[in-house]
Amino acid sequence: SCGELSSDGQLHPTRRRKLSSSLDNTEPLTSPHTAEARVLVINTGGTIGMTLHDNVLAPKANAFVKSLRKLPILHDEMYAQQTSLYHYYGENSLVLPSNKDSKRIVYTIMEYNPLLDSSNMTTDDWGRFGKDIEKNYESYDGFVILHGTDTMAYTASALSFMCEHLGKPIILTGSQVPIYEIRNDGRDNLLGALLIAGQFVIPEVGLYFHHTLYRGNRVTKVDTASFNAFSSPNLAPLATAEVDILINWDTVWRANTTAKFRVSTELNRNVGLLRLFPGITAATVRAFLQAPMQGVVLETYGSGNAPDNRKDLLEELKKATDSGVIIINCTQCLRGTVSTSYATGKVLIDAGLIAGGDMTPEAALSKLSYVLAKKDLDLEAKKKMMSQNLRGEMRSDFAGAKLCLSDSRFIQIIAKSLSISCKEVSALQPFLIKIGDVEALEALKEMGSNLSLGDYDGRTPLHVACCEGNLKAVQYLLSQGATVYAKDRYGATPLANAVHFRHKEVVRLLRKTGAHFSRDELDEAGTELCSLSTSGDLESLEIWSLAGADLTKPGYDGQNAIQVAQSVGKNEVVAFLVRLMSNRTKVKQIGVAHGSPQL
Ligand SMILES: NC(=O)C[C@H](N)C(=O)O
């Protein structure tokens, strides 16, 4: 079996056979690379990989990987040799030294050609990043994008919108000083981004800089020369990397859907930023708003104000919105939100502008670019979308603070009687799922409980619901943004749990959401399929197939499930497997890429 069921009802992976020798050229049946996290690093350019030429900094091609190989904090060459890392993952792969709990993070670098100073980037580049992530999504646990700092906030914002139903971390980082110099911030930034992308299922586009992880669509570059170059004025960091890496799970944004990840690479380029200044002429505004302009972020004063004694300006704005240009009102201030507390703010609503809340201009611009490119929406729907919070880019709950766990007298009493803190009442979640009480789960969630947190063994409520086969609970958890990519302490995913306990409908739902086996689970699938084949367990074979296992994968002795069935004369199993496989070719198969990323 792929796992052994212990007395506590949990699935533990079978101990894997050790690699006897990796010196010959034949691929061992069991990869030595189990229990590793994999991160794809897309190197797009930026100062982090620049060198001086004629006294100016410019990106240097084909030098980054070589240089990292020589840095012991970013690469463990001995481990790489012992485990034939390059053979398994390709030449551009590296491995971090082991951390406290000795889980390795293997990362593969995909270097773009040409590498760009981020000032040279356009929306086409954003599309390319999105496509590369989409192609490699299932093969990696997380993604790091190395990028210049100058336009990093724009790219991070754009990617946050383009990546729909995101379930894995995508973290942008870079540096102020090239990694090739003695004193530089590149090493720390890359290391921190890798550690977060490889260890935590934060389903967001983040930006990591100077020990801090920010939500990508909340940041702005605030300093040309400080290592602390970014600020997120309206949202606290998602994580800080001090003595420990602390994730602020209450702030982490989750796509509350059961839809599969996809990247929308269509972007509209007819958008712009216009900053108001005292004395701006109507002619300037008119020229700016002319066709083909379709969306504008107007950067206004204070809490969203513009002169209400300038009829000429207001007329130009009104003419543009009447003719279908979407104009978003964002403040020039670094912190705070637009409101309608002043007459000078209300005139902009009358001119047809949409309030941008506390969005950064970078986020508002890239959101316009994304929303305007949606071909199946009419103008009204696009305007509505612009005023809604899509990815945590704006605060939507101005109505006041949420009720929190410690506010409930009931929770206080329970917590006290169990001698635990109110927060720890969240630990009741698995129990509630076990007894099938989705309503109680909802009540806990409403009080601010995080439904994605794992217990001591890293088992999340979704793991438990999948073991129990409680479809309603699984549905509810997914609708609340529970991650399908969580792995428990033994490396098991919720999907593997549902397969093991033969909950077909749960498997179907998980697959619809984009769940897939981990690499380790896929590696072990061959042996499991062979044993199911021998025992003639057609139902389980079907569930494994539904879950995306490769039915032709050989087991430990090199034979696959069909060959095993043939050799023991189980013709009905052979026929069944052949039928399953021909059905599968009609449906797109899930693949797993060993080795190099897909370009
Ligand atoms: N620090 C940097 O990365 C700045 C550089 N000009 C860039 O954005 O590519």
Closest CA to 268 of 372, 130, 161: 372
Q: What is the pLDDT of residue 133?
A: 98
Among protein residues, the one with the nearest Cα to ligand 1's atom 3 is 148
Q: If you average pLDDT over residues 424-451, what whole number do you get? A: 71
- The catalytic position among 149, 212, 300, 321 is 149
Q: If you average pLDDT over residues 538-546, what whole number do you get? A: 96
The CA 44 to ligand 1 mean position distance, Å, reads 11
Report residues whose beta carbon is within 6 angstroms of any ligand 1 atom.
46-47, 117-119, 148-150, 174, 176
Least confident range of 20-29, 45-54, 96-105, 112-121: 20-29
Q: In a 3-state reduction of DSSP, which class is residue 511?
A: helix
Tens of pLDDT, residue by residue over 102-127, are: 689 999 999 999 999 999 999 999 99
Contact 258, 479 (CB under 8 A): yes
Percent of the chain predicted with pLDDT > 90: 75
| Element of type H or E holding 155 | helix 152-162
Q: What is the pLDDT of residue 591?
A: 42
Q: If you average pLDDT over residues 475-479, what whole number do you get? A: 92
Give the whole-angstrom CA distance, residue 450 versus residue 258.
18
Assess whether pLDDT exceeds 50 at residue 24. Answer: no
Q: What is the pLDDT of residue 16?
A: 35
Assess whether pLDDT exceeds 80 at residue 6. Answer: no
Q: If you average pLDDT over residues 361-389, what whole number do you get? A: 98
Q: What is the pLDDT of residue 539?
A: 95
Which of the listed ranges 411-425, 428-442, 549-563 does the model predict with the highest average pLDDT? Answer: 549-563
Among protein residues, the one with the nearest Cα to ligand 1's atom 1 is 176
The CA 149 to ligand 1 mean position distance, Å, reads 4
Q: If you average pLDDT over residues 547-565, what whole number do you get? A: 93
Backbone φ and ψ for 95, nearest 5 degrees, come out as -140, 135
Which domains are assigned to the chain?
34-263 (3.40.50.1170), 271-387 (3.40.50.40), 405-512 (1.25.40.20), 519-586 (1.25.40.20)
Contact 130, 228 (CB under 8 A): no
Q: What is the pLDDT of residue 103?
A: 82
Tens of pLDDT, residue by residue over 94-104, are: 999 997 766 89
Give residue for tokens 């980082």. 173
Is there a catalytic annotation at residue 337? no
CA dihedral sign of residues 406, 410, 411, 417: positive
**Residue 1 confidence class, pLDDT cut points 50, 70, 90:** very low
Choose which residue among 44, 48, 119 to substitute to test ligand 1 binding: the one with the highest number of ligand atoms within 8 A of its C-beta: 119
Q: What is the pLDDT of residue 20?
A: 35
- What tokens were used for 196? 């977060």
Choose which residue among 120, 149, 221 to substitute to test ligand 1 binding: the one with the highest number of ligand atoms within 8 A of its C-beta: 149
**Residue 587 confidence class, pLDDT cut points 50, 70, 90:** low
Q: What is the pLDDT of residue 192?
A: 97
Least confident range of 44-53, 260-269, 477-486: 477-486
Q: What is the pLDDT of residue 32?
A: 78
Assess whether pLDDT exceeds 90 at residue 433. Answer: no
Q: Above 0.90 for ipTM, yes or no?
A: yes
Alpha helices in 490-551 (DSSP H): 494-500, 504-513, 519-535, 538-546
Give the whole-angstrom CA distance, residue 564 versus residue 568.
6
Contact 143, 40 (CB under 8 A): yes
The CA 118 to ligand 1 mean position distance, Å, reads 6
Which of the listed ranges 252-261, 294-303, 412-421 does the model predict with the highest average pLDDT? Answer: 294-303
Average pLDDT over the chain, rounded to whole?
89
Give the whole-angstrom CA distance, residue 261 versus residue 593.
18
Q: If you average pLDDT over residues 425-434, what whole number do you get? A: 67
The CA 365 to ligand 1 mean position distance, Å, reads 20
Closest CA to 527 of 9, 27, 29: 29
